Amino acid sequence: MAILKAGTRLRSAVCSTEVMVVAAPKEDIELTCGGVPAIELGSEPPAGVEISADAQNGTQIGKRYVNESGDLEILCTKPGEGSLGVAGALLSVKGAKPLPSSD
């Protein structure tokens, strides 16, 4: 469990997924990927962890993932097989809201 801050980079312990935190509530959160707690980018996964069968819908590069209340937003920077989740609930893909191109 940790307080996630905007800009924090994490990786999956069980697949190739890498993410960046875009927005997060100011409370302890455990982000999971493939059903296993995500770890700091650059750190090694603990031994013996395996992807959970009910969390392998995969992540897509560039997609933003949000929780139900919408206060947690995670950007996928490298795709993988696992699904992102918090407290047992999977995150869902946030719909894009296109802005007029300005530059």
Partner 1 sequence: MNLMMLLEMASDGFGDRVAFCNGDDRLSYSELFRAAGAAANGVASSGTAHLAMLDVSSLALPVGLFAAAWAGVPFVPLNYRLTGSELESLVEQIVPSRVITETERLASLSELAGTQVVGREEFLAAARHEGASSQPSEWSMDPDEIAILLFTSGTTGPPKAAVIRHKHLVSYILGSVEFMSADESDAALVCVPPYHIAGMAAIASSVYSGRRVVQLPNFTAESWLELARRECVTNAFVVPTMLARIVEVLEGRQSADLPHLRSLSYGGGKMPQSVIERAMDLFPETDFANAYGLTETSSTIAILGPDDHRAALASDDPVVRRRLVSVGKPLPSVEVEIRDEEGNALAANERGEIHVRGEQVSGEYLGKGSQLADDGWFPTRDGGSVDAEGYLFIEGRIDDIIVRGGENMSPGEIEEVLLEHPALCDVAVVGVPDEQWGEAVAAVVVCKDGHQAAVPELQQWVKERLRSSRTPERIEFWQELPYNETGKLLRRKVRAQLVSG
Note the residues at the interface with partner 1 (CB under 8 A).
Answer: 6-7, 9, 20, 22, 41, 61-63, 75, 77-78, 96-103
Shortest gap between Cβ of 62 and partner 1 (angstroms)? 3
Task: Give 3-state DSSP helix, strand, coil % of the chain, rounded to 5.
Answer: 0, 35, 65
- Closest contact distance (angstroms) between CB of 20 and partner 1 is 7
Cβ at position 7, least distance to partner 1 in Å: 4
CB nearer to partner 1: pick between 6 and 89:
6
Check: CB of residue 55 under 8 Å from CB of residue 32: yes
Edge-to-edge, what's the strand order for the sheet holding 18-23?
39-40, 9-11, 18-23, 73-78, 64-66, 92-93
Residue 33 or 76: which CB sits closer to partner 1?
A: 76
